[in-house]
Amino acid sequence: MFDITQLLDEIKASPYEEIVVAAPHTGVVTFADVREGSRVIGPSGTWKEKKGTLLATIERERNQKPIHAVEKGEVKEVLRHLEGTFVEAGTPLVRLRHFLSKDEVLAIILKKALHLFVAPERAKYYFAPDVDKKVKASGASSVSLHEGMDLFIMSRMKREASLAYSGPSGVIYAVYFQHNENVDAGQPLIGVCPPDQLSLIEDVVARVQTEWEERE
């Protein structure tokens, strides 16, 4: 059993993710006007249709290709000595520091703390009737799971099959699927945690929600 508070402390100690922007292919590099410490933004717009901040251009065969920031953050290092030189594919050009947001921190913690039960194929999923009753009456966390119990009805093109739970015993902590919507194969349906860890996880989540400072 791993220590969830320790994980949180670790994240707090280094609350960012380092992104290395590398050359996608060989070519001559020209850096854009970015300096160490300056802020960059990732793709924006409703459909992420606007590109992020321009970091550099790489030219090969008279084809200038822009390289944009993929996440928002701070420029940690620009490898200026590569300016105007011919680089190999994969050569690091810029290092970005992306500060984790609340959601990202929670995602990291929950990914480690929960057992995710994934959808075996693309279909619509519903709780089995008796489970559904319980979920509706007193919330998903009241359902205790054990190996082999009938948990889901998997419905695909109007054909239905029941799906049994497999994995460690515990309670449902999070539900990731929507009613009447298709879930792709491999996507998580529920997150399960051991009953004794439930209060701890809730506590940590509450702490992250209230205490985590989002940095630009």
Partner 1 sequence: MDTEKRTQHLAERLGYIRDVFGGKHNENIALLESKLQEFNLRLSEGSISDENAALTTLEDLFDFVERKLEAELTPMDKVRIVRHPQRICLRDILENVYDNYTEIGGKDEHSIDPSMLIARAYITRRSGKKTINQPVLVIGQEKGHGEEFRNGGSVKPWGNAKALQYMKVAETEGIPIHTYVFTPGSYPVEDYPGAAQQIARNLYEMAGLRVPVIAVFSEGGSGGAEAIGLSDRRLMLSHGYYSVISPEGAAAIEGRLRHGQRAAPELIEKCAQQLRITAEDNLRMGYIDHVVTEPPLGARPYHYDFFRGLRQEIIRATDEVILGVKGFAPFRAMVLRRRRGKAETMDLDNMYVRWSLSSSAKDRLVSRRHRKFNRLARNAARDRRPVLRKLSNMGWDAWWDIYSYFKYDLLRKHQQKIAYLVEEVEAEAQVLMEKVAAPWRKITCALPGGACQSSEQTERELTTLSDWDEEGQRNGNWSYVSPRAKEDRAITCPNADSHGCLDLWAPDLFGEFAGVCTYCGHHFPMEYQWYLHNVFDEGSIFEFNAEIEAGNPLGFEGFDVKLEQAKKQTGLKSGCVTFEARIDNVKLVVAMLVAPFRGGSVGAAEGEKFVQAAERAKKKRYPFLAYVHGTAGIRIQEGTNGVIQMPRCTMAVRRYIEAGGLYLVLYDTNSYAGPLASFLGCSPYQFSIRSANIGFAGPGVIKETTGVDIPPDYHRAYRALSRGHIQGIWDRRDARMNLKQALLTMGGRNLYYR
Stretch touching partner 1 by CB under 8 A, among 34-42, 43-51, 141-149, 153-161:
43-51
In what order do the strands lie in the sheet containing 170-175?
Answer: 115-118, 188-193, 170-175, 144-145
Angle, in degrees to the nearest 10, between helices 198-211 and 4-13? 20
Our CB check for partner 1 shows the closer of 15 and 43 to be 43
Is 53 near partner 1 (CB under 8 A)?
A: no
* Of 3, 30, 44, 65, the one binding partner 1 by CB under 8 A: 65
Residues between 9 and 28 with contacts to partner 1, criterion CB under 8 A: 25
Is 210 near partner 1 (CB under 8 A)?
A: no
Is 44 near partner 1 (CB under 8 A)?
A: no
Is 216 near partner 1 (CB under 8 A)?
A: no
* SS percent in the chain: helix, strand, coil, step 5: 25, 40, 35
Query: To which H or E segment does residue 110 belong?
Result: helix 102-113
Is 95 near partner 1 (CB under 8 A)?
A: no
Non-local (6+) Cβ contacts of 199 within 8 A are none
